[in-house]
Amino acid sequence: MRDILSRITKWWEAGETFGLATVVRTYRSAPRDPGAALAVVSSSADHEVVGSVSGGCVEGAVYELSLDVCQTSDPVLQTYGVSDDDAFAVGLTCGGIIDIFVEPVDQARFPELGQIAEAVERGEPVAVATVIAGPGQVGARRVIWARDSAHVDSAHVDSARADAVQADGADGWHSGASGTLGSARLDAAVDDDVRGMLAQGLTGIRRYGAQGERRGDELSVFVNSFAPAPRMLVFGAIDFAAAVARVGKFLGYHVTVCDARKVFATASRFPDADEVVVEWPHRFLAATEVDARTVICVLTHDPKFDVPLLEVALRTPAGYIGAMGSRRTHDDRLVRLREVGLTEDELARLRSPIGLDLGARTPEETAVSIAAELIQLRWGGTGHPLTVTDGRIHHQFAG
């Protein structure tokens, strides 16, 4: 829903009613991931549509269902599978299966939508939990806000969870929440699970008993997480860094370029970066928050920068640490890193030379090879041409 959030918020602000269709579960080679969404505004003469749930396979059927839901006001959980031999049959030609939850949305039904959009714009974590199936009230919704969000106030935090807003949890923040899924016990169980999902940027279904028991499977709750964009830290203000920053932004990262040389580290040289920092790389990294979603690209090509930087980087929880250089540079770098005390396990985390073997030469080609490695690690692909592989094309989340 993040991709269409700004547009549907305008509809919401204008007092429109629209059908919101969200992918909540996928099987096999489904083309879109959970959280992908399509919306249809019902009051427009042309029934304006934004977004996509399947890349085109079932959009027509979902469009019609969204209009029906706006008329009936009853949310629907619909499964779409493989199409039959009829060319006009509704289904996924890729062979996958998707579950799509379609619900009517307006200011009365979803009063927090505008504030969710504002939180997402500011990069504040927020999640929406919705009952999509089970004995409870299908369509019941609960919004879980970050503890320090400006939206957590007396108007939005229910009394059952008000105390939680004041306390810090083990993950560094507790949540305030608005709305209820049907019972205080279910709300509490979902709130706890959502905090963990937000920390990892995960979207998906959680199942509970009718009263919130974690061992039950009677009730399905879809959690749509709007976590801040993962960070890409690019070190070395060179032409390769500009290309990497560009592709990193394209992939959805919050990109920072850092270099100690002020003359090279300028915003004009890196227009695609979210920020450009002039500082010694290892000092900047040591003072920067890094988590398992963070990507670190070391492109400095100079031992006086590389070694102290990688000494810090390889002791962070970053999910990807890559360094540019030739085979000889890599071997020399390993010797220097061992001399400063890094272990073999720590060195094994280093991806060097950086990127997949695509034969890349130019900065842009090299950036594509780095992006390809990031995608491969995220989804668990082989990195081989699809023409020589068997089985599913779309892999499950691996990173």
Q: Which is more confidently placed, 289 or 172? A: 289
For residue 263, the enclosing domain spans 231-379
pTM: 0.69
Task: Say yes or no: 239 and 212 in one domain.
Answer: no
Residue 395 forms part of a structural domain: no
pLDDT of residue 88: 39
Please state the rounded mean pLDDT for residues 362-389. Answer: 90
Residue 268 forms part of a structural domain: yes
Confidence tier at 101 by pLDDT (50, 70, 90): very high
- Which of the listed residues 44, 74, 108 is the one where a domain comes to its end? 108
pLDDT of residue 166: 34
Task: Say yes or no: 237 and 336 in one domain.
Answer: yes
Task: Say yes or no: 248 and 212 in one domain.
Answer: no
- Which of the listed residues 108, 127, 154 is the one where a domain comes to its end? 108
Beta pairing, strands 231-235 & 254-259: parallel
Confidence tier at 150 by pLDDT (50, 70, 90): very low
Please state the rounded mean pLDDT for residues 287-311. Answer: 93
Model confidence at 17: pLDDT above 90: yes
Distances (CA, A) of 255 to 192, 234, 248, 272, 293: 30, 7, 7, 8, 13
Model confidence at 123: pLDDT above 50: yes
Let me know: does 254 contact 232? Beta carbons within 8 Å: yes
pLDDT of residue 158: 42
Q: Which is more confidently placed, 93 or 183? A: 183
Task: Say yes or no: 236 and 371 in one domain.
Answer: yes
For helices 303-313 and 327-339, angle between their N-to-C axes, nearest 10 degrees: 60
pLDDT in tens, 38-87: 999 977 566 789 998 876 678 888 999 999 999 999 999 998 875 544 43
pLDDT of residue 201: 79
Confidence tier at 361 by pLDDT (50, 70, 90): very high
Q: Which helix (H) or strand (E) holds 189?
A: helix 184-200
Average pLDDT, rounded, for the chain: 85
Residue 393 forms part of a structural domain: no
- Which of the listed residues 197, 228, 259 is the one where a domain comes to its end? 228
Let me know: does 350 contact 310? Beta carbons within 8 Å: yes
Q: Which is more confidently placed, 91 or 241? A: 241
Task: Say yes or no: 96 and 157 in one domain.
Answer: no
Task: Say yes or no: 254 and 336 in one domain.
Answer: yes
Give the residues across from 141 on adjacent strands. 130
Q: Which of 139, 131, 129 is nearest to 105 (CA)?
A: 139
* 3-state class (DSSP) for residue 164: helix
Q: Which of 328, 377, 316 is nearest to 351 (CA)?
A: 377
Name residues whose C-beta falls within 8 Å of residue 205's C-beta, 6 or more positions apart in sequence.
24, 25, 34, 132, 220, 221, 222, 223
Instruction: Retrieve residue 395's tokens.
Output: 């892999």
Residue 258 forms part of a structural domain: yes
